[in-house]
Structures are given as structure tokens and as C-alpha cells.
Amino acid sequence: MEQLPLHPYRRFHFLREAARRPGAVVWHVGAYTLVFVVAVVGGLAGVAAFEIYFIEDSPGRAVVWIVGTAMLIWAVFLRPRLILTQDHLIAVNVMSAWMVRLPEIEKIESGWGGLRIQCGGLVRTSWAVQEANLPALFDLETRSRRIAR
């Protein structure tokens, strides 16, 4: 397994180019999950910012609250992704990004914590593809199981 370039600008361009390669497939957090979380967390943040702005009379804190919530939603739900190219599997999580060559992958499992990828005795997880609770209980086909195959 290899770490991606550390400099944010180089990492951004590396990931963008990897996603644009012919035959590359990119998976993000599920759309329904994203809509639900943005609605709930955004609504709660809006109520909190409203109270901070009007009750505590602190517009600066209200802006910081909204911006902080937006950054949290971006980091946890928009940033994670899994990119499959012809020769690499690239995972971007909240705090890390790594890449592995396809022949080095020993095992891939889907689970509630994400897609678990085993390579050379080391197990890493991709947050972008997680097992859904209800279909997993009834042993139904899920997106994470299709990707793990």
C-alpha cells in the first residue's frame, strides 16, 4: 500500500487525474445518506445558528457555527471516495488517503464500517462504501456487496 502525495494541491490533482482515466470508476457516499445527513445536520445547525444570532446576539459565532458544520459535512460525507482504475484501487477517507495495486489485494469484505481491503497482512477501510443496515439484516443485495465482488 502506498500513501498519496502529502501536499494538498498535488493530492487533489492526482485524484482528479485518476478519476478521469479511461475505465476509472468512482464511488462516493450514497446519495440518500448524503441528503438525509445534510437535511438533519444542516437543519440542526441552522436552528443553533438562529439561536446564537438572535438570542445571544452574536453574529460572528453564528457564522462560525454554520461554516464549521459545512466543513464537517464536507469532511465526513463529501470527501470520502473510492476510485478503481485499471491497475490501482485508491481510497480517500476523512483523515487519510491511500492506494494499492490490484494484484496486491488479497481480500475485500463489505461491512458497516466500510469496505475492508486486505493487502499484505494489512487491513485498510474505505468509508465511502458502507453496508446498509436493513438490507444486511435480511441478507439482501447491497451496493457494498456488489463492489466487494
HEC assignment per residue over the chain: CEECCCCHHHHHHHHHHHHHCCCCEEEECCHHHHHHHHHHHHHHHHHHHHHHHHCCCCHHHHHHHHHHHHHHHHHHHHCCEEEECCCEEEEECCCCEEEEEHHHEEEEECCCCCEEEEECCEEEEECCCCCCHHHHHCCCCCHHHHHHC
Confidence of residue 4 (pLDDT cuts 50, 70, 90): low
Are 81 and 92 spatial neighbours (Cβ–Cβ below 8 Å)? yes
pLDDT exceeds cutoff 70 at 135:
no
Q: Which residues of 123-133 are buried (b: 16+ CB within 10 A; e: fewer)?
A: ebbbbbbbbbe
Confidence of residue 21 (pLDDT cuts 50, 70, 90): confident
pLDDT exceeds cutoff 80 at 137:
no
- pTM of this prediction exceeds 0.85: no
Confidence of residue 28 (pLDDT cuts 50, 70, 90): confident
Lowest-confidence segment of 53-57, 117-121, 131-135 by average pLDDT: 131-135
Query: Whole-number mean pLDDT of the chain?
Result: 79
pLDDT exceeds cutoff 70 at 144:
no
CA angle at residue 132 from 127 to 138, to 5 degrees?
150
Confidence of residue 95 (pLDDT cuts 50, 70, 90): confident
Confidence of residue 5 (pLDDT cuts 50, 70, 90): low
pLDDT exceeds cutoff 70 at 123:
yes
